[in-house]
Amino acid sequence: VQLVESGGGSVQAGGSLRLSCSVSGYPYSRYCLAWFRQAPGKEREAAASIDGDGETKYADSVKGRFTVSQDNAKNTLYLQMDSLQPEDTAMYYCAVDQLRLAVCRTDWYLVQRFGYWGQGTQVTVS
């Protein structure tokens, strides 16, 4: 499984960015996928997930501002980020469930639930 993120950059507070994650190596569309982020000096934390049926879950810190989606035809996962704030500054990673489950687990927000990771894309909000 290979994951490649793109779309990061620098933006002013209140602005928007859309991250993309290209997934290859297996038919991901039926599995739990997620976005995590990691700020300097902090632990990696979950932002959002989407499962094979399209059900989404969000961390409280991004709920109402971020939207996760996927395009099965393009094998691509997205994260639309609106109303960005300086505290959203971090490296953003996409990930695939370690067991390739079709439904994201109730504790989907745990890093150890995901076994495949991209290299990350940097988001800086000033």
| Burial class, 43, CB count within 10 angstroms (exposed 0-12 / middle 13-18 / buried 19+) | exposed
Q: What is the pLDDT of residue 72?
A: 85
Determine the Cα angle at 96 with ends 54 and 109, to 5°. 80
Q: What is the pLDDT of residue 29?
A: 61
pLDDT value of position 21: 96
pLDDT confidence of residue 41: 95
What does the alpha-carbon distance between residue 123 and residue 82 come to, in Å, rounded to a whole number?
A: 12
Q: What are residue 115's phi and psi, to 5 degrees?
A: -115, -5
Task: Name the DSSP class of 37.
Answer: E
Q: What does the pLDDT profile of the chain (126 residues) look like in tens digits? A: 899 999 999 999 999 999 999 998 876 567 899 999 999 999 999 999 999 889 999 999 999 999 999 998 889 999 999 999 999 999 999 999 988 888 899 999 999 999 999 999 999 999
| pLDDT at res. 31 | 85
What are the residues facing 19 on neighbouring strands? 79
pLDDT given for residue 1 in this prediction: 83
Q: Which of 118, 117, 95, 99 is nearest to 49 (CA)?
A: 95
